[in-house]
Amino acid sequence: MTALAAYGRLEGLGGAVTTAEAAATLRVSASAASRTLRALEAEGRATRLRTGLWHIGPGRPTATAIVRDVLRPHLAYISFLSALNIAGAIDQRPRTISVASLDRARTIETAVGTYAVHHLPPALFGGWEETRNGPVATPVKAIFDLCYVSAAHRGRARRLPELDVPELHSVEQFEPWLSRIESPRLRSVTETGLRSAIARSNTR
């Protein structure tokens, strides 16, 4: 099979594929699939993201666009300071892409970017929108995620940079999410962080 024919089949899978998935699709051995993927990379039709994971398509993908591919099979969305930067709520551009996920907390390095993965329990997972940058938390949910993770892992409220979030009004708007936190102590610390974030918003 030619590289072009292989590309046609793999592109139909959409986004990223593992070497094993490529082998199954092309009906070849893993080593043969790996050689084909390297050939496609040399032609600019594929990008090796990390060991065993490839993005199929012309050019290098943006780091935000492949968040779901990098974290699969776990659900994930961009949040925290990364989401606030994308929304223009802060000027600071994080070095890593902060991701909320049902997966365990860890750091994932790829050829197109580094991902800082933060675990959220299922009850708190959500509040994102589909954007041209991929799945991104709304500014309000990104602030909540920041305050919750800080409370859960540091045991104290995190001081946030000055925020430009017009839709940030009062702590009451976080109640639907706060009410899902089972621990009273954790809920209280998260709320303290949220009140601090509201106080630092220049759009109040």
Contact in structure between 41 and 112 (CB atoms under 8 Å): no
Query: Taking the domain 3-56, which CATH number applies?
Result: 1.10.10
Q: Is 32 helix (H, G, I), strand (E, B) or coil?
A: helix
Q: Which two tokens stand for residue 203?
A: 């759009």
Q: Which two tokens stand for residue 184?
A: 């009273």
- pLDDT tens-place string over residues 19-28: 999 999 999 9
**pLDDT given at position 203:** 52
CATH 1.10.10 segments of the chain: 3-56
Q: Using 50, 70 and 90 to split pLDDT, how confident is the model at 150?
A: very high
Residue of 117 and 197 predicted with greater confidence: 117
Res. 51: pLDDT tops 50: yes
Res. 145: pLDDT tops 50: yes
**pLDDT given at position 163:** 83
- Give CA–CA dist 144/135, Å, rounded: 16
- Give CA–CA dist 200/35, Å, rounded: 53
Res. 204: pLDDT tops 60: no
Q: Average pLDDT, stretch 86-92? A: 89
- Give CA–CA dist 124/122, Å, rounded: 5
Q: Average pLDDT, stretch 148-161? A: 82
- Give CA–CA dist 109/89, Å, rounded: 26
Tokens 């839709």 appear where?
167
pTM (2 decimals)?
0.87
Q: Average pLDDT, stretch 35-62? A: 90
Q: What are phi and psi of 134, to 5 degrees?
A: 100, -165
Mean of the per-residue pLDDT values for the chain?
90
In percent, the amount of the chain with pLDDT more than 90 equals 61
In percent, the amount of the chain with pLDDT more than 70 equals 98
Give Dmax (Cα) for the chain. 62
Residue of 168 and 107 predicted with greater confidence: 107
Contact in structure between 110 and 60 (CB atoms under 8 Å): no
